[in-house]
Structure 1
Amino acid sequence: MDHSITEAHHAIPAPDGYHAMPRLRRRLSEIRSYGYRPTEAKLTGQQLLIAQLTALGLANKEIAYLADISETTVKAHISAALRSLNLKRRTQLCRYIFEGRLLGGE
């Protein structure tokens, strides 16, 4: 599965209310370029990517836009990651990502 962002995706205008996010797009590219580190809970690559974007403080709608998936799919990946890690809250998932140094380059 190719996790790279296509050039066509960059050409899509941001939805109303979104500001230009060049710094965030660079961070997303950095995360993807490091690859996916295996975790004890064996999160799928997409679950880990969504968890990483969640840890950066993005809302589901922002994650959906950047990852080019639906908001419902984002929610499903977050729920699956929480179940895999036996966590209850999104904040616990963020802490897991930061404490496990799973943002790459750290």
Structure 2
Amino acid sequence: MTEVTRVQTGVRLEARLLNVLKALAALKGMTLGDLLEGIVLHAFEGETAFNAATLKQIADLKKVYGLDLTAADSHGLVESAPAAKSAVSTKSAKSTTTRKSSRS
């Protein structure tokens, strides 16, 4: 075993991709972090991180979670606009703040 220092990170990932990764980690009995480390270390050496059986599991999980992205999409992903609910919540919070401050 090799000792390492791990740090907490706030990485943003596409939601369906994250679901597939979490499910795969659970199937393999490992943490999401361990799975990601393995994938990246293999990729850095130009190797695949998965055997044929695992690739089949991934294909099945992609269907379950509706993940249709491919490697070709990797540098062209754009965040969708925030949901309307978020805008309403923000407006309500501002209105509440305004009302509270006008009472003071």
Please give the range of the TM-score, normalised by the shorter of the 2 chains.
Answer: under 0.3
State the TM-score, normalizing by the size of structure 2: 0.27
* Higher RCO structure, 1 or 2 (CA under 8 Å, sep 6+): 1
State the TM-score, normalizing by the size of structure 1: 0.27
Larger Rg: 2
